[in-house]
Amino acid sequence: MKDLTYQILKNGLDASSSRQKTISSNIANVNTPGYKSSKVSFESELARAIDQTGAAMVKTHENHLGGAIASEVKGEVKVMDGTSMDETGNNVDIDKEMVDLAANEIYYSALIEQVNRKLSNMSYVINR
């Protein structure tokens, strides 16, 4: 059986990595005319999946209700094309991107800490 907690943590780390690349791309293109910034959506999708099915439900047969939908949520890159920050059509806000970058670093560190604790607990159980 698949460990759902570990899978959700892995997907969160993947989303954080994708977010790092996306923010870096936005910052690199701050002066590119017509460039539209992108954003990675993960946490809201995960919360929606948990609200729909419940975090503890596991679908072991196709006829069962519920399912492990939360562990299947992936980060999705969305282009933010509804706004413009300057006359060239570029909508990158460098201050917002720097805040998002710092927040993503904290988020990534928190996820790594959770993975380390989970692995430490598993190691403890195995070695006792």
If pLDDT is split at 50, 70 and 90, which confidence band does 67 have? very low
Over residues 12-38, the mean pLDDT reads: 95
| Owning domain of residue 121 | 4-127
Round to whole Å and give the CA distance between 74 and 67: 16
Number of domains in the chain: 1
Its pTM surpasses 0.85: no
